[in-house]
C-alpha cells in the first residue's frame, strides 16, 4: 500500500512538472504546413442513376498562419486543398470506364 501511494505521488508530481514546463507562453507570428494522404469513400448519386463512384487516393495540404497574443489568445487563418481523381463509375450496375472527373476541395477557416 505504501509503495502504491508513493508511485502515485511521483506520477502526480511529474505530471504537474510537465504541465508547468508546457505552460510557457509563446507569442508572436507563426506559420505551419501540413500534408497527407487523402482517401474518399465510395459514394453514390441516385438522382443521376450512379450507383457507385470510386475515387483514387491522392494527397492534400493545409497551411496555417497566425499571431499568438499574451495570455494564450490566438488569431489564425487556415487554408487547405485536396484533389482526388475519379477511378470508376457504376451506372445502375454497368461499369462506365474510363471515368473522367475529379473531386477538388478548397477550404478556408478563420479562428
| Ramachandran bin of 67, using left for φ above 0, alpha for ψ from -120 to 50, beta for the remaining angles | beta
Residue-wise pLDDT tens digits, 64-79: 999 999 877 899 999 9
Long-range contacts at 96-100 (CB < 8 A, ≥ 24 apart): 99/53
Q: How confident is the model at residue 4, as a pLDDT?
A: 40
Q: How confident is the model at residue 21, as a pLDDT?
A: 46
- pTM for the full predicted model: 0.59
Q: How confident is the model at residue 91, as a pLDDT?
A: 75
Distance CA 84, CA 37 (A): 10
Residue-wise pLDDT tens digits, 6-65: 334 444 444 444 444 445 667 899 999 999 999 888 777 666 667 777 888 999 999 999
Amino acid at each position: 500500500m505504501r509503495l502504491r501511494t508513493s508511485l502515485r505521488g511521483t506520477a502526480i508530481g511529474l505530471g504537474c512538472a510537465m504541465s508547468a514546463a508546457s505552460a510557457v507562453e509563446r507569442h508572436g507570428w507563426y506559420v505551419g504546413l501540413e500534408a497527407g494522404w487523402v482517401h474518399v469513400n465510395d459514394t453514390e448519386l441516385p438522382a443521376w442513376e450512379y450507383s457507385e463512384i470510386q475515387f483514387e487516393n491522392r494527397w492534400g495540404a493545409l497551411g496555417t498562419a497566425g499571431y499568438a497574443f499574451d495570455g494564450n489568445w490566438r488569431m489564425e487563418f487556415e487554408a487547405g486543398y485536396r484533389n482526388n481523381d475519379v477511378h470508376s463509375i457504376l451506372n445502375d450496375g454497368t461499369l462506365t470506364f474510363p471515368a473522367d472527373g475529379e473531386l477538388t476541395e478548397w477550404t478556408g477557416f478563420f479562428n
